[in-house]
Chains A and B, each alone.
Chain A
Amino acid sequence: DQQVKQNSPSLSVQEGRISILNCDYTNSMFDYFLWYKKYPAEGPTFLISISSIKDKNEDGRFTVFLNKSAKHLSLHIVPSQPGDSAVYFCAAKKAGGFKTIFGAGTRLFVKA
């Protein structure tokens, strides 16, 4: 049972434009949603998170939107930069727990 789904394996965006990465989940009991970024030959690094009681969280160029009724979240990167080219993982977890469920990732290409 894939509880966190990223249906787009890849995305290509022009430098300076907006990148929108999407994620769907099936378990309404998740309390936190996170985005991780992964460069080749490196482990994932935490990027931004959102609590299930919020619908938006912003950190610089990165904004995560949460639509609980649709069980959908998205990561917006504005403006996109070539250094943002990486694989982005959507993840979810429950409050008080340490187990994190990951999606399959979306590879973002930002073209200069």
Chain B
Amino acid sequence: SAVISQKPSRDICQRGTSLTIQCQVDSQVTMMFWYRQQPGQSLTLIATANQGSEATYESGFVIDKFPISRPNLTFSTLTVSNMSPEDSSIYLCSVALQGLTEAFFGQGTRLTVV
């Protein structure tokens, strides 16, 4: 398994500002992911954070809005840029381990944009 620490756990931000969310894993992992859960919606994959190269974004998500860093195999950050109230969501970091079907998640960051 993997233990994932994510911070901040919650924040209230002004529109037009940016927030960076950090994700720390207790072991080296190849596959790290960032998800968003909007109110009443499913968990939607934003991007795969690749170590040593640019993140791979899903349809509907762009690097300018959600820049991602992955400096090593245990750490990643997601920035939500130029925030609007529509960005109010729970953002989740996740990892997948070789040989296991299931994914592991951080506790999430509840973001409210006012």
Determine which of A42, A104, A105 lies in contact with B108 in the assembled complex, contact meaning CB atoms within 8 Å: A42
Asked whether B105 is an interface residue with its Cβ less than 8 Å from the other chain, the reply is: yes
B45 in contact with A99 (CB, 8 Å) = yes
Determine which of B33, B35, B42 lies in contact with A98 in the assembled complex, contact meaning CB atoms within 8 Å: B33
B103 in contact with A100 (CB, 8 Å) = yes
Given the known interface contacts A42-B108, A43-B105, A46-B102, the answer about A105 and B9 at a Cβ–Cβ threshold of 8 Å is no
User: Which residues in window 76-105 of B have CB below 8 A to A?
Assistant: 92, 94, 96, 101-105
B103 in contact with A46 (CB, 8 Å) = yes
Interface residues on A, range: 20 to 34
Asked whether A49 is an interface residue with its Cβ less than 8 Å from the other chain, the reply is: yes
Interface residues on B, range: 20 to 34
- Contact count A vs B, C-beta below 8 Å: 52
Residue of B nearest to A5 (CB): B42
Given the known interface contacts A43-B92, A44-B43, the answer about A93 and B101 at a Cβ–Cβ threshold of 8 Å is yes
Interface flags for A79-112 (1: CB within 8 Å of B; 0: not) read: 0000000000100010000111011110000000
* Cα A43 to Cα B35 with chains together (Å): 11
- CB within 8 Å of A: which residues of B? 4, 6, 9, 31, 33, 35, 40-45, 48, 92, 94, 96, 101-108, 110
Given A49-B101, A93-B101, A100-B103, list of 11 further CB < 8 A pairs? Answer: A32-B101, A43-B4, A43-B106, A43-B107, A44-B92, A98-B103, A99-B45, A102-B35, A102-B44, A104-B40, A105-B42
